[in-house]
Homo-oligomer: A and B are copies of this chain.
Amino acid sequence: MKLALPKNLLAEQIALLERVIPSRSSNPLLTYAGLAAGPETLVLFCSNGEVDLEIRLPARVQGEGAYLVPSQPFFQLVRSLPGEEAVLSLERELELSSGRFTTRLSLAPVEGYPELLFPEPEGPSEAFPLQAHIPAGDLLRLLTQVRYAASNEEYRAIFRGVQLEFSEGGLRAVASDGYRLALSELPKPQPFAKKAVVPARSADEVVRVLKALGEGEVALALGPGTLGLAVRGEGAEVRMAVRLMEGEFPDYEKVIPKDFPLRVRLEVDPFREALRRVSVLSDRQNHRVDLLFQEGRALLSAEGDYGKGQEEVAVAMEGTPMGLAYNARYLLEALAPLEGEAFLEMSGPTSPSLVRPSGEGGYRAVVVPLRV
């Protein structure tokens, strides 16, 4: 088979494959990239066992077939091609040429490579019987807003994932490490009700693909043990299949506080900057920063081996003055998805607090104060 396409288009899109393909694997075939011919299409594919990825690019095509090419030299060569166009001839070898440059790369047959199943962008398929459509930017927001709260610990492995909850009420993403929790909602009714836990690292790959493709609509599909995505970007059509974790989160709704003796409205940027400064001197173990809310001011202070720092920030208060302490990192991470004005709502000096935007926006974070 023979394919020709603009070099820049190919060079841009291989960056997505490159992230997924492992440099080493117990199955050496996974270190290869797949190349196949479709109708007027070059199909690139790869898998790391957790994430499968397929990219379809418009190309001039003669013949048909599917081959595996050693990914590292192939990617390096594609990026350095001198001409405007890349011409690929695949038979026993890959002959890659562009301008005055010609190279021959060895190929491996696709036999033995895992079978990859992807959703169809148009609607449900046998492999992916449940399908919803959602703007790419919204899915990106849901995942990036909660990702930080996922656990890195072996303990309670389910928390190493991000839970997606499809329901009549909308689509929700949740992450927690048992000490804090973040959730983000899109209030758009979904055509089915289902929970699916995506490993946090695979969620990172989904985020990368969504960022690379820009605006558009994502077909989000569920099959047995698998989340599928199909999205059409500029010049490229991308499909993914992500292995899901088994099980689902324990009931977390009960840890989200409802009653707040104190509600503080604050400007996110100056509050965050002050918190960051004061936390420089906090204890290196628990990053403790003390907050005292009274008379329309938040007094932030911290003390550690090297000294102590303090700063005052003006806030708007509703309720009773309160003093409490947080792990500064947790509070900074909870504030990270926000800008403009936010609410910090406190259920008590040692019980969970809630962080949320002051206006619309489906983001909420639960942070537990440190015991003073």
Contact = CB atoms under 8 A, between A and B. Distances in A.
B308 A104 contact: yes
A274 B313 CA distance: 59
A94 B104 CA distance: 66
Contact of A101 (B77, B102, B311): B311
A307 B277 contact: no
A123 B81 CA distance: 54
B82 A277 contact: yes
A312 B97 CA distance: 13
A281 B102 contact: no
Given A93-B307, A311-B100, A105 B281 contact: yes
Interface residues of A, number: 32
A103 B306 CA distance: 10
A70 B101 CA distance: 56
A105 B276 contact: no
Nearest to A300: B101
Contact of A309 (B70, B102, B277, B280): B102
B82 A273 contact: yes
Contacts of A306: 70, 73, 105-106
A309 B80 contact: no
Contacts of A286: none
A307 B104 contact: yes
A276 B276 CA distance: 45
B276 A309 contact: no
Contacts of A277: 77, 80-82, 101, 103
A310 interface: yes
A62 interface: no
Interface in A271-288: 273-274, 276-278, 280-281
Interface of A: 70, 73, 76-77, 80-82, 93-94, 100-106, 273-274, 276-278, 280-281, 305-313
